[in-house]
Structure 1
Amino acid sequence: MKIFPTKFSGRTPPAWRCLLSPSFSDHLSTLSLSLSNGMPFFRRLPFLRFLPLLSFPSLIPRPFSQAHTFPLQNPQSSPLLQIPPLELTKPSHGGVELQFVTVDRICRLVSQSFDDGDQKLRSFRLDVTAEQAVGAVALLAEREGSMVALSFFHWAIVRPEFRHFMRFYITVASSLVGRGNLEKAQEVMRCMVTSFSEIGKLKEAVEMLFDMRSQGLPVSVHTLNLVLRIAVESGSIAYAEQLFEEMPVNGVFPNTCSFKTMIAAYCREGRVADVEKLLRAMDVRGFRVDNATCTLIVEAFCKKGCFGWVFALFEKMSEMGLAPNVINYTALINGLCKKGSVKQAFQVLEEMVGKGLKPNVYTHTSLIDGLCKIGWTERAFRLFLKLVRSDSYKPNVQTYTAMIAGYCKENKLNRAEMLLARMSEQGLVPNTNTYTSLIDGHAKEGNLDRAYELMDRMKREGCLPNVCTYNAVIDGLCKKGRAPEAYMMLQEGLNQGLQLDKFTYTILISEHCKRGQTARALKLFGRMVGAGCQPDIHTYTTLISAFCKQKRMDETERLFERCLGLELVPTRQTYTSMIGGYCRVGKASSALRVFEKMIQNGCLADSVTYAALISGLCKECRLEEARALYESMLDKGLVPCEVSRITLAYEYCKRDKSDVAISVLERLEKKQWIRTANILIRKLSSEAKVDAACLFFNKLLDEHGNVDRITYTAFVNACYDNNRFSVASNLSERISKGTVGFCTENDVAVT
């Protein structure tokens, strides 16, 4: 674009200086804008030979940053900062303008409407082009003052043809600056930021915001706070963070609102360390956190389990004269309940009441939900009844939902249904979570017909099922072996726009794994990742367990390494599946390495984990290592499962070390010992190991005095089959004398 020479100086004057200079303003009222061939024109005046191209001045250096945080494509001549040349109109032969709608006429109509009391220009019906709007607003500011110009400005920016026309905003702000009305000019710039953020051009608007400093409009902290808020709400946290950090460099110092906006952003992302850093900075400046921001902080820190820090924050707030309110305490109570620390939550409740604060329905709902989650539904129901009888608060939909979910979790579906009916009587409308809790409860119990009824009912009431609702039904169908029906249900949801989540995929992957269809499970896993749904540790554990059962340890190891690469934390089931898989293929040493890694990572092994290891070591004849693990398990207070007890004792008996086998079982409880002895006697008798069976049989008679009939029959038959008639005769004699009695299997079964 050419820069035309001017008679007045050797450089092109800025656009707004031309519009606002006194010499130009004197003649501006005589100008009228018209359109010819789609280009704006001014009527030629005798004193003008040339009209220069109107363009913004080159960007002046500013201390925003050494590298220009918000660079323009070409700082010397940016398309956003240029105004097309304004040419002069030529009068017709009769002296009549080619365009009937002139800037002057627009200004007269706007001024008339404003004087008539129509400050929002509701009666203004004239069609105005973008170029006319620019000329009119500058002329209005010069003739009628800031308020009339602003009235026209607000009328224009609600219209799409002006809302995203940056030169219009710049002209208005520059005109207001020229009249010394900086406050209204800042208001215009805030409108510009809001408008351009709607079309994804927040950064361009902010760049222009800083450029306006060269025209005498300093950057306002309130305007930058608006930019921060918009950036945070749109998810541009990194941009907001950069702008916040460079505020002092640009001569704008963050205020309380700036800090609170960034704290809210960090809380949303769970960046508690950054929140703590900002709070210290606020403390240094003497700023205080309000109760609303405190609630966000409490929720963020509770999700991370940093409850001690929250208590310290409450103390700090009290010292600063801003005591935590009911909402702050409720947020803490809710966080504690979600983490299962219900007892501590009630202690916080007592502290809250002791300070004269009265818990509301949300406080009680959090406590009810916490009690239900740990299985204390009866205590939760007592608290629920207290709320029902209260004159201040009544249970809301969330309270009923928490109670219904608690009963469904304990399979008390009749009580859950009763509460659903009670909700309707109270005029409360169940929401999606309410119905989903009930549907999940019935689906887990196999009551799929009732689950379908509830799903139809919620649709009739305008309550659309969500992905959790579909997951509950699909899981119930899969557990009932009705996988085709589950896929039909899934297709129905997809047709209605359902977005599958990681739980949906995990349910389907688990179903294929149970059927041994690992190839289809892997294909579904790939589709899950391709859809942008990140698998969690439970998804990986499902696949690892399936491959371990098929003794495909190479695939298992790859999945396990991938799991660790994603920084997922393996669970007890993950490690146990790996250990069991290695033991199945005769790699007990590899299983022991996984076990050691499990202990190092703080994951506690259970009796199933130990059983897998002991079984694997026994298969490889490493009995002493197996016994050491067995004793270690007992030392930790774990109860050995039946497989562990029998496997270890039997392996010693096979090697004619029956005395060692008896000593291994000595630390068991009486019922467990009797149960194990009976099974061992039957097994040893079936393998003609009469001496070992006799040792356990005599100890059983001596210490218990009763014998199971099945065990007795098996032992006596083994004695006759192996010509041990004297042993069978002695046993029969003891029974005939009444020193030994018979008992049923249930009498010795472990409960």
Structure 2
Amino acid sequence: VYAYTAMVSACASNGRYREAVAVFQKMEEVGCKPTLITYNVILSVYGKMSMPWIKVNELMDNMKNAGIAPDLYTYNTLISCCRRGLYEEAAQVFHEMKLAGFMPDKVTYNALLDVYGKSQRPKEAMEVLLDMELHGFAPSDVTYNSLISAYARNGLLEEAMEIKAQMIKKGIKPDVFTYTTLFSGFEKAGKDDCAIKVFEEMRSAGCKPNTCTFNALIKMHGNRRRFSEMMKTFEEMKNCDCCPDIVTWNSLIAVFGQNGMYTEVSGLFHEMKRAGFVPERDTFNTLISAYSRCGSFDHSMTVYKMMLEAKVSPDLSTYNAVLAALARGGLWEQSEKVLAEMKHAHCKPNELSYSCLLHAYANGNEVDRMVSFAQKVYSGEIQLHAVLFKTLVLVSSKTDLLVETERAFSEMKRRCYLLDITTLNAMLSIYGRRQIFDKADEILNFIKERQLTPTLTTYNTLMHMYSLSGLFERAEEFLKEIILKGLKPDIISYRTLINAYCRNGRLKDASRILSGMRDSGIMPDVVTYNTLVASYAANAMFLEAIAMVRCMIHQGCRPNRNTYNSIVDFYCKFNGLDEASMFINRLSKFDPHLTRNEELRLLERVKNECHR
């Protein structure tokens, strides 16, 4: 038993958690009974592997059935196993521990604070601090860092800064974890200037960034699509003797996944494995999400199967990643089945699970189901959470339900929930689409007052709003502002202006924007080219329309049915049936991919126009 326990401990100490579990299982298979120390070590391993709570409970049942009573270390470790949002379970363990006659120590309180911090439960965290002080335990830097985490993760950044000030007053110096937690909180809220100030204060205080700090910087640059700065930070990290960890790789994969960069996601995964990292649950979860964001649902499900084959048990985050993948495709029926499967596996859905279901309803055009589920949230049947109200703002805005969007937004303000830039962008979007300028201005003023950093989505939304109202110059000013702010316009930025100019017959301006788009390194897609081709044809500018088709083919963008339909249809509209036929007969000379069937289809289209 001592040899096996030593092997389990050695594997755990070196981060080889799967091997530690394998040794423990082998120990049981050969009939060697684990001791209290063995169980405590493997329980700690389960916590680090984020094993599902049902597995942790099974281990505890086996321990008790073997006649081994838990000690204080066991209970403290059990609380630590609850770090991933299992705050109710942590409270239950804390209660059982006291019933068993154990008095909480400093480690117990800090572990419980850590759980509440990571579960975004600032109120409960503060109650633990008061109880801790009442029992004569002086808070340490670990205590304050957990408390700051609880407030920062919940978006209560002013309160988090106040706790940091209290920490300093008590003679406890903020460390790298304090600063990194605050930096991440401001970054998540979209307050980049405040985040950078925290980073500068950290360096001024002589506090050296660690791997977690660099990971937060990588995430900030990635979320703002500043990919070159992100990769520079990655290189700087290595130069500062901070070795990239699994979180670093997961963050990079997540960023490229969020931006639909499939090649980069796959490349990073292979590079990560070459660097000696074995994918664990978090990596599999990140990959499932990344591939689904790249539009590759099949790859997401392949990764899920790979995970199961590697005998890595799905946890709440895994199910949520699968639900998010289904939501993007609007597969609401499958989403409902996954939720049922979760409950069967004793994995309790959380606010993110229900958020994904709402997105699945919205993307699947199941508006009635979405509104019905929203009522469950408002009635309290589903546990109230800021994430759910934010989701209701997003999905209601997406489905153009103004009353429902404003109701969810008002509820967020009433409950003093964090109004981040994503939520405000959703409000701006629905007001912009409906041309409600006074309301849109209110949102813009709110963004400025709160010192939030506008994102590319903010600018694209404003461009769309002003282009719809015919204020093209104002819309184009936002394109220039995007570039001045160091953001990179995307295809939507340029397409918004091109569509606006084309709708109003300003084809020279549309062509100028197209040139700027290509000069910036963004290749127009078939939808962008088709907009210009159809606009030229609608204005009887057929030479220009055909020149645009030649241009798109030369740039490697293949025309589709709509490209040629618009030219043929407008030739016919302007009584140019012969010209339409001549155009079709010459098509094969500059479009090598044109099939004979496509030629015949277009000729039939002209023939049908003749008989009208």
In the TM superposition, residue 680 of structure 1 has moved relative to its aligned partner by 0.8
1:521 Cα deviation after fit = 1.5
1:403-456 C-alpha deviation (Å, 9 max, x unpaired): 655676632365456456547xx5x65321122223333454555455444433
Quote the offset at 1:335 in angstroms: 2.7
**Displacement of 1:338:** 0.7
Match of 1:709 among 574, 594, 600: 600
Equivalent in the alignment of 1:681: 568
CA distance in 2, matches of 1:312, 1:595: 31
Counterpart among 243, 252, 256 of residue 329 in structure 1? 243
Structure 2 SS opposite 1:589: helix
Q: Does structure 2 retain, via aligned residues, the 8 Å contact 1:435–1:458?
A: yes
Q: Which is bigger in relative contact order (C-alpha 8 A, separation at least 6)?
A: 2
Aligned length in residues: 448
The question of whether the paired residues in 2 share the 8 Å contact of 1:509 and 1:524 is answered with yes
AA matched with 2:386: D
Asked whether 1:339 is paired with 2:252, we answer yes
CA distance in structure 2 between the aligned counterparts of 1:227 and 1:587, rounded to whole angstroms: 58
Q: Name the residue aligned to 2:124.
A: none
- What are the Cα deviations for residues 154-213 of structure 1, in whole angstroms up to 9, with x where unaligned? xxxx9xxxxxxxxxxxxxxxxxxxxxxxxxxxxxxxxxxxx99736989xx9xxxxxxxx
Q: Is the 8 A contact 1:266 1:272 kept in 2?
A: no
What is the correspondence of 1:21-60 to structure 2 with a 5 Å cutoff? none
Residue 411 (1) aligns with residue 297 (2): yes
Q: Where does residue 622 of structure 1 map in the other structure?
A: 506
Deviation at 1:471, TM superposition (A): 1.2
Residue of structure 2 equivalent to 1:468? 352
The CA deviation at 1:269 is: 1.1
CA drift of 1:473 comes to: 1.9
**Selected match of 2:403 from 519, 525, 533:** 519
Distance in 2 of aligned mates of 1:197 and 1:577: 44
Matches within 5 A, 1:657-736: 657-669=541-553, 672=558, 676-689=563-576, 693=580, 696=583, 699-700=586-587, 703=590, 708-715=599-606
Q: How does 1:148-547 map to 2 (within 5 A)?
A: 198=130, 234-235=147-148, 259=173, 261-270=174-183, 294=210, 297-299=213-215, 302-303=218-219, 329-331=243-245, 334-335=247-248, 337-340=250-253, 397-398=281-282, 401-402=285-286, 405=289, 410-412=296-298, 415=302, 418-419=305-306, 421-422=308-309, 426=311, 429-445=313-329, 448-489=332-373, 495=380, 498-502=383-387, 504-547=388-431
Instruction: Note if contact 2:292-2:328 (Cα within 8 Å) is conserved in structure 1.
Output: no
1-structure distance, mates of 2:367, 2:560: 43
Give per-residue Cα distances to partners, 1:706-729, cap 9 Å, x unaligned. 6723433454677899xxxxxxxx
User: Which range moves more in the overlay, 459-468 or 567-576?
Assistant: 567-576
* Maintained 8 Å contact 2:393/2:426: yes
Higher helix fraction (1 or 2):
2
C-alpha contact (below 8 Å) 1:618/1:647 kept by paired residues? yes
Q: Go from structure 1 to structure 2 and tell me whether the alpha carbon gap of 1:501 and 1:621 turns closer, same or farther (over 3 Å shift).
A: same
Distance 1:639 1:486, change over 3 A: same
Instruction: Show the counterpart of 1:548.
Output: 432
Equivalent-residue separation in structure 1 for 2:480 and 2:467 (angstroms): 15
Per the TM alignment, residue 669 of structure 1 is displaced from its structure 2 partner at its CA by 1.0
Check conservation: 2:374, 2:392, Cα contact below 8 A. Answer: no
Describe the SS at the equivalent of 1:605.
coil
Q: Percent identity?
A: 16
How far is the alpha carbon of 1:685 from its aligned partner? Answer: 1.0
Native 8 Å contact 2:250 2:286 kept in 1: no
Give yes or no for the alignment of 1:593 onto 2:477: yes
The answer as to whether partners of 1:443 and 1:472 remain within 8 angstroms in 2 is yes
Shift of residue 468, structure 1, vs aligned partner: 1.0
Contact 1:443/1:473 (<8 A) preserved: yes
Q: Residue 686 of structure 1 aligns to which amino acid in structure 2?
A: K
Q: What letter is aligned with 2:297?
A: N
Which runs of no fewer than 5 residues in structure 1 stay unpaired? 1-157, 159-194, 206-222, 248-253, 283-287, 317-323, 344-368, 722-751
Q: In 2, are the aligned partners of 1:553 and 1:582 still within 8 Å (CA)?
A: no
Question: C-alpha distance in 2, partners of 1:625/1:370?
Answer: 32
Deviation of 1:651 after TM superposition, in Å, equals 5.2
TM-superposed deviation, 1:470: 1.2
Report the Cα distance in structure 2 between the residues aligned to 1:714 and 1:511, rounded to whole angstroms: 40
CA distance in 2, matches of 1:674, 1:485: 36
Deviation at 1:654, TM superposition (A): 6.1
Q: Deviation at 1:652?
A: 5.1
Partners of 1:232 and 1:371 in 2: how far apart? 32
Report the CA distance between 1:465 and its aligned residue: 1.4
3-state SS of the aligned residue for 1:439?
helix
1:267-318 Cα offsets, whole Å, 9 max, x none, are 3212676666666665xxxxx97xxx945555555555588678778767xx
| Inter-partner Cα distance in structure 2 for 1:238 and 1:539 | 23
Distance 2:481 2:432 in 1: 18
Report 1:120-139 matches (<5 A).
Answer: none
Letter in 1 for 2:574: E
**Residue 266 (structure 1) shift:** 2.2
- Compute the displacement of 1:642 (Å): 5.1
Query: Distance between the aligned counterparts of 1:309 and 1:385, measured in 2?
Result: 21
Aligned residue number for residue 114 of structure 2? none
Aligned to 1:748: none
One-letter amino acid of the counterpart of residue 411, structure 1: F
Name the CA shift for 1:301/1:622 in 2 (closer, same or farther; >3 Å): closer
Quick one: distance in 1 between partners of 2:362 and 2:401? 14
Q: In 2, distance between residues paired with 1:309 and 1:386?
A: 21
Name which of 604, 609, 618 aligns with 2:488. Answer: 604
Aligned partners of 1:515, 1:239: CA distance in 2, in Å?
40
Q: Taking structure 1 as reference, are residues 452 and 680 closer, same or farther at Cα in structure 2, changes over 3 Å only? A: closer
Find the aligned partners of 1:492 and 1:674 in 2 and give their Cα distance: 45
Match of 1:19 in 2: none
SS at match of 1:436: helix
Instruction: Give the residue type in structure 2 aligned to 1:500.
Output: H
Q: What one-letter code is carried by the residue in structure 2 that aligns with 1:433?
A: S
